[in-house]
Amino acid sequence: MVSDKVRERVLAVVERLGYVPDAAASALASKRTDLIGLLVPSLTNNVFAEVLRGIYDASEDTPFNVQIVNFRYSPLKEEQLIRTLLRQKPAGLMVTGFDQTAEARAMLEGADCRVVQIMDSGDDPVDLSIGFSHYASAVDATRHLLACGYRRPAFLGARMDPRSQRRLAGFTDALKETGMFDPTRIVTTPQSSSIGLGTQLFADLIARRPDTDAIFCNNDDLAAGVLLEAQRRYFDVPGKLGVCGFNDLEFSRHLNPGLTTIATPRYDVGRRGFEMLRTAIDTPDEAQGGKVDLPAQLVERGSTRRLDSPSA
């Protein structure tokens, strides 16, 4: 709104004084800031690294700044952080999953900004959503194990947040369809997931049910631990024991044997989730809501085998 000459003079003074605009004052004037609040349950879980990469790739050339807050898998902490972010008059919020507390959901529904829920699929989003079905993906993984000829599959799970619980539900229902479900082959823990924990859970499972012939893990970290412990105990993988993970982390293809797993579209969730939010912010009259379900795909590698393979 000013001439180039005046603009240059103003910017020179801004640089000399080290002036920083008052975001609170700007928010009062415009009724919003350039802030996009992103709520994630973990900053150490490798799963969210790809989500963040997608978000930052999409936001790089936009006027928006992404502020990450970590609620550490605590619904009450998430509720508190939503309240804190809303006080800052954000342009939009990106929230992980659909399992907020009733109070948190009420705040999101009443927020004076657009909201996108990511990394999960549900029938009743607050506003926008993009993700994939953890339940259907687990059904696919379990049916793959059965198609390979394994008849006594087990489930190992850590942390057991709502998305992991849906994976367990998919595993359970797929086995109940065939009459092969055995609750004694389910081993879970509230501990944080790690490769070392995978070795421990596998040892506990085999001590309890030594005839187990396949294991579906709720993530690749646990599955890598299973493979290492199975090799230490001279298990024939995949001949006598099939192992399947979830997420398709980068290391999974480099294990020996390579890990069969569910490849989840984490980068696309982040990138497209931000793009959905930006469109909703920039064109509110055109973007009244939206729900996008992305496909997650089974990646078959050497840790499972088909019935027609030589080792079957």
Q: Does residue 251 share a domain with residue 275?
A: no
Q: pLDDT digit string (tens) for 153-195?
A: 999 999 999 999 999 999 999 999 999 999 999 999 999 999 9
Residue 305 located in a structural domain: no
The C-alpha angle 200, 201, 202, rounded to 5 degrees, equals 90
Count the domains in the chain: 2
Burial 223-239 (b: 16+ CB within 10 A, else e): bbbbbbbbeeeebebbe
| Residue-by-residue pLDDT tens, the chain, 312 positions | 789 888 888 888 877 876 666 555 454 444 579 999 999 999 999 999 999 999 999 999 999 999 999 999 999 999 999 999 999 999 999 999 999 999 999 999 999 999 999 999 998 999 999 999 999 999 999 999 999 999 999 999 999 999 999 999 999 999 999 999 999 999 999 999 999 999 999 999 999 999 999 999 999 999 999 999 999 999 999 999 999 999 999 999 999 999 999 999 999 999 999 999 999 999 877 656 689 999 999 999 999 986 655 444
Q: Does residue 276 share a domain with residue 204?
A: no
CATH code assigned at 188: 3.40.50.2300
Residue 94 located in a structural domain: yes
| The pLDDT value given to residue 311 | 46
Q: In whole angstroms, give the CA distance from residue 76 to residue 229.
A: 37
Q: What percentage of residues in the chain have a pLDDT greater than 90?
A: 84
| The pLDDT value given to residue 293 | 97
Q: Does residue 127 share a domain with residue 21?
A: yes
Q: Does residue 258 share a domain with residue 189?
A: yes
Q: Does residue 123 share a domain with residue 195?
A: no
| The pLDDT value given to residue 188 | 98
Q: Does residue 100 share a domain with residue 15?
A: yes
Helical axes 134-147 vs 162-176, angle rounded to 10°: 40
Range of the domain at 195: 134-263
